[in-house]
Structure 1
């Protein structure tokens, strides 16, 4: 996960303000606002049909909003805003490649669309093939690729012109675990290198791993946003600490109850279960209490609330429904 440094005066790569889009009588998104800083990976997390794809199509200028505005690197995004769009790399859910061409031929074609020519184009094609891990298959036709390899090449095509903002619409759907891991590694490296990334997914574990901040979208509304810890704090979820131990568990449990931030203590068989605020910060005091009460701790497990628990709390529905 990248570590974006943001201040109040920082220039955001992406600013989306009050985005609303209707399809007939159906409101797909309403008053959606968020920003993405240089080097930050921002995740739009929500179930299928929540409004994620509509949001990013508006961000990329592929759909005009009924209300609101988008700027990329300070430039307004609209259907005819070629300068702003040139700062964006867009990776749609559907693979947009020519199956009867090789990977190199596909990249050269898309590179020319981005007005790359000559040695610059040739160098950039090779750089991208290395980045996505397909240099050894660059002369193979895309029709011979696995689904995961096609998606990696799809991402590569969007990187040829070195965009300031990379927008990915659920890029790991339907791929094998190995390709999924490779895609996520590539995206993490891009954020570290300073590129702003807008990433939509309905997989909680991807957002946990990749995103500096997350916006939870449901029924077209951005219902919450922040870091994982901020979102968890907002809904009041607590950490759970389980200790496997022997000795005077009753005395140990009583000592734990006196530790600030420990809100509940239970014992069962050879285990002590704690519910705590910011559990990892309490561990030193908990282990000190074990020493004082002559309790031998064999193992400690800290279970922190995740984004799926947050989403369920905010929307009342499971993440993948």
Structure 2
């Protein structure tokens, strides 16, 4: 699970990037954060990843405080940004074997890794090709396979659909849904309202570091999310 408890992040004396943000994402749920650039979405995610430390409040992953116990928290999380960070000189298989063994309590063999790459949409003919030759969509598929093979309990996604063609974006969303079906909690920052809202269990609008509004999937049926988003960013 993913829990924000009154998170605050200040930069200097005058700028509050995240202002008293609280939410909870249960296992098997997807929560999408929407807002303009600079609204505080990435800063919020970065506090869970311990890239930034909260000025106050807590970022909690599976009951573990990400600030006071960052190494333990990282065993439970997966992270994908707009620009997936993999070893370009490694093949897809070498990448997944390497990352699957970092902090993993169980041994993972090559057959299991190959099956996961295929399940995440990466054709077998690409398993032994260098990731540096991959398209952005193919890199995303390899990265999702790594998250799934590591059995991540909390997944943080920062603009995972940016720059993807419709087919690749649909494939990424399918991988996200499969991770949730396996019990992961997902927090996703995105500008793609149309696609992401179809799979989200809850959404929240951010502006100037605060959560302006939040809606469940059932409530979204009676809300003009696009209009609210436009009002929030203007």
TM over 0.5: yes
1:88 equivalent in alignment to 2:95: no
Q: Which residue of 1 aligns with 2:43?
A: 54
Runs of 4+ off more than 6 Å: none
Q: Which residue of 2 aligns with 1:142?
A: 131
Alignment of 1:200-211 (within 5 A): 200-211=189-200
Shift of 1:92: 2.1
Alignment of 1:82-161 (within 5 A): 82-115=71-104, 120-136=108-124, 137-161=126-150
1:45 and 1:207 in contact (8 A); partners too: no
Alignment of 1:24-35 (within 5 A): 24=12, 25-35=14-24
Aligned partners of 2:30, 2:102: CA distance in 1, in Å? Answer: 26
Shift of 1:124: 4.0
Q: 1:308 to 1:98 in 2, by over 3 A?
A: same
Q: Which residue of 2 aligns with 1:306?
A: 224
1:169 and 1:200 in contact (8 A); partners too: yes
Shift of 1:62: 2.2
Q: Which residue of 1 aligns with 2:204?
A: 215
Alignment of 1:288-307 (within 5 A): 305-307=223-225
Shift of 1:316: 6.1
1:224 equivalent in alignment to 2:213: yes
Alignment of 1:194-273 (within 5 A): 194-230=183-219
Gaps of 5+ in 2: none
Report SS of the residue matched to 1:191: helix
1:41 and 1:197 in contact (8 A); partners too: yes
TM-score by length of 1: 0.67
Aligned partners of 1:316, 1:231: CA distance in 2, in Å? Answer: 19
1:19 and 1:65 in contact (8 A); partners too: yes
Aligned partners of 2:188, 2:62: CA distance in 1, in Å? Answer: 18
Aligned partners of 1:57, 1:201: CA distance in 2, in Å? Answer: 15
Shift of 1:104: 0.4
Q: Which residue of 2 aligns with 1:23?
A: 11
Q: Which residue of 2 aligns with 1:282?
A: none
Aligned partners of 2:101, 2:55: CA distance in 1, in Å? Answer: 33
Report SS of the residue matched to 1:113: coil
TM-score by length of 2: 0.90
Report SS of the residue matched to 1:168: strand
